[in-house]
Amino acid sequence: MASVLNTVSSIILSNTNANRIRSRPVLEPISVSFTRRRLTIRATETDANEAVKSQAPDKAPAASGSSFNQLLGIKGAAQETNKWKIRLQLTKPVTWPPLVWGVICGAAASGNFHWNLEDVAKSIVCMMMSGPCLTGYTQTLNDWYDRDIDAINEPYRPIPSGAISENEVITQIWVLLLGGLGLAGILDVWAGHDFPIVFYLALGGSLLSYIYSAPPLKLKQNGWIGNFALGASYISLPWWAGQALFGTLTPDIIVLTLLYSVAGLGIAIVNDFKSVEGDRALGLQSLPVAFGAETAKWICVGAIDITQISVAGYLLGAGKPYYALALLALIIPQVVFQFQYFLKDPVKYDVKYQASAQPFLVLGLLVTALATSH
């Protein structure tokens, strides 16, 4: 849980007013012209209904920036000039662990993972595909299409600040995408699949990532659809890949993981609070914009908690009472941290909340995987 690299030479964006930040319309005409040596993509943009000027500084204060945050790709990052560190920052390594964990859960649910060298090697390659490659592709692509919003909310980020060029960003997107799809194909051959299911899961996930971030669909414009798509990408897709690699992906697991993705929707809402100003200015209907911060906070925690309670009920009904009780026990500290951090101030404490509560949620995923092991 969205081409040839060396032919990508430039991306030219039409801009008739340099002092205005511009937003993409829902339907955006795109023209693509091919020549022998270059591919040029021109995107025609129109003025937003209400142009917005960025009042934030061009770069984050160096004294307050953290080099560690920069490498993880989270807010509070130090300004960096090293291109490889900037490339790593765009992939947001802090977002890789849920995908890696999803692969582990899928392998556990398959009931066919063995602690031998071959299976461990397969799982590591699957984690590389899901985390650094395809999640890195998704995050870089999202930053590219969010550059107008980031110019308002976080103008010191690599793309709006000009720390990395347009051509370098586009090249990185293609390298990560093709690398991930290539690893997926290798895994199918390695597992002896007659039907390349891992490849098609990777391809489908990559397409979902693209329509999540890019016009004309840009699913993230709708808080419900966009956040559920994000939740499914982080929970369902890596689980499916891990289970398909080592066993058989079954309909009951597909339904259960899609249900769990509602909790992923709640997790995705956490990240929307810090972007309210830019989302509102550019017409994105994130849940904090649509319902207000107070209501959105409760939608967020409700989606996370009610989903897990429902899964615990499913496990109890399936004759797995001990697994159900273990899952319920893991929900309790999440609720405590919600009241301690998130519900007090979702912007100020978002990192603390996620660092404190999410380990219990992902442990719950593993409990569920073990309970449903085929």
Determine the pLDDT at residue 16: 38
- CB-based burial of residue 373 (10 Å sphere; 0-12 exposed, 13-18 middle, 19+ buried)? middle
Q: What is the pLDDT of residues 275-333, one digit of tens each?
A: 888 888 878 889 999 999 999 999 999 999 999 999 999 999 999 999 999 999 999 99
Q: What is the pLDDT of residues 329-342, one digit of tens each?
A: 999 999 999 999 99
Structure token pair of residue 253 = 């697991």
Find out whether the peptide bond into 216 is cis, omega within 30 degrees of 0: yes
What strands, in cross-sheet order, belong to the sheet with 39-43? 8-13, 39-43, 30-34
Partnered with residue 21 across adjacent β-strands are: 52
| C-beta separation of 183 from 129 below 8 A | yes
Average pLDDT along the chain: 83
Contacts 24+ apart (CB under 8 A), 53-61: 53/19, 53/20, 53/21, 54/21, 54/151, 54/152, 54/155, 56/152, 56/153, 56/154, 56/155, 56/156, 57/155, 57/156, 58/155, 58/156, 58/161, 59/155, 59/156, 59/161, 60/156
Q: What is the pLDDT of residues 257-280, one digit of tens each?
A: 999 999 999 999 998 998 888 888
For residue 341, give the nearest of 311, 297, 374, 371 by alpha carbon: 297
Q: What is the mean pLDDT of residues 99-104?
A: 95
Structure token pair of residue 239 = 């689980």
Which H or E element spans position 42?
A: strand 39-43
Residue 40 DSSP SS3: strand
| Whole-angstrom distance, CA of residue 121 vs CA of residue 8 | 33
Determine the pLDDT at residue 237: 97
| Whole-angstrom distance, CA of residue 87 vs CA of residue 287 | 30
Determine the pLDDT at residue 374: 59
User: CA dihedral defined by 84, 65, 23, 96, rounded to 10 degrees?
Assistant: 50
Among 27-31, 147-151, 356-360, where is mean pLDDT lowest? 27-31
Q: What is the mean pLDDT of residues 51-60?
A: 40
Residue 57 pLDDT level (bands cut at 50, 70, 90): very low
| Whole-angstrom distance, CA of residue 106 vs CA of residue 137 | 22
| C-beta separation of 352 from 341 below 8 A | yes
| Whole-angstrom distance, CA of residue 294 vs CA of residue 156 | 28
